[in-house]
Amino acid sequence: MKSSLIKLIFPLLIFNAPVLAQVSAPAANAQPEPETLVLSDTLNYDDKTKTSIFNGNVILTRGQMRLTSDTLKIQEDAQGFQHGTATVNSGKVHIFEERTETYETIRSEGDRAEYNGKDDTVKMIGHAIVNRYICGNLIDTIRGEVVIYNNKNNTYSAQGGPQAVEPGRVRSVVKPQSAADKATEACRKQYNNKPMPSTLN
């Protein structure tokens, strides 16, 4: 499967004061970090443990990525790495990402999502499904109990188990590259070789 399927980015937030979220300043030569917005019913911050917990109708938007859950917990470890867990009371955690330059959208869902800032990995856990679309056409699908994305080396792994969509199995469906190329070309013509408009703005 193409590595583009796995480039989901879970937000890295630094919380320096109660109900105040700031994104760390980029290095002089680094690309600026996208703005992060979190909406929720409540926010509890513990400066001693460097933990922030958002509860109720959580919607996190960061650049071209959006996450929805009932609870979002983010904690900073002693080394300064951020670790996050998104959960729901019922239904699914959803992550939606647009890649307007390549006309792709990624839709992921699971019972829980976990982010490890040190390893730069994202886990979709429990009935995990990841779908990649190009110009609205479904191209790739991965289903399993756990799907793990590694953003450092652009790899993924999937595990089967009792909480897989198809219990005990991993299911992956990938269309031929020609189908992806055809869908990309259709979008290029539709948008006159310009990026597709974002729906998150």
Residue 141 has pLDDT above 70, yes or no: yes
Residue 141 in any domain: the answer is yes
List pLDDT tens digits, range 158-196.
999 999 888 889 998 889 999 999 999 999 999 999 999
Span 77-129, pLDDT tens digits: 888 888 889 999 999 999 998 889 999 998 999 999 998 888 888 899 999 99
What is the span of the domain harbouring residue 62?
3-190
**Is 135 in contact with 190 (CB distance < 8 Å)?**
yes
In-domain check, residue 179: yes
Is residue 199 domain-resident?
A: no
In this prediction, residue 11 carries a pLDDT of 38
pTM for the predicted model, two decimal places: 0.77
To which residue do tokens 């959580």 refer?
A: 58
Within-domain flag for 200: no
Lowest mean pLDDT, pick from 3-12, 151-160, 192-201: 3-12
Residues 6+ apart with CB under 8 A from 122: 8, 9, 10, 113, 114, 115, 148, 149, 151
For residue 125, the surrounding DSSP H or E stretch is strand 121-134
Q: Does residue 197 fall inside a structural domain?
A: no
Please check whether residue 201 lies inside any domain of the structure.
Answer: no
Report the domain count for the chain: 1
The answer to whether residue 142 sits within a structural domain is yes
Domain membership of residue 73 (yes or no) is: yes
The CATH number covering residue 132 comes to 2.60.450.10
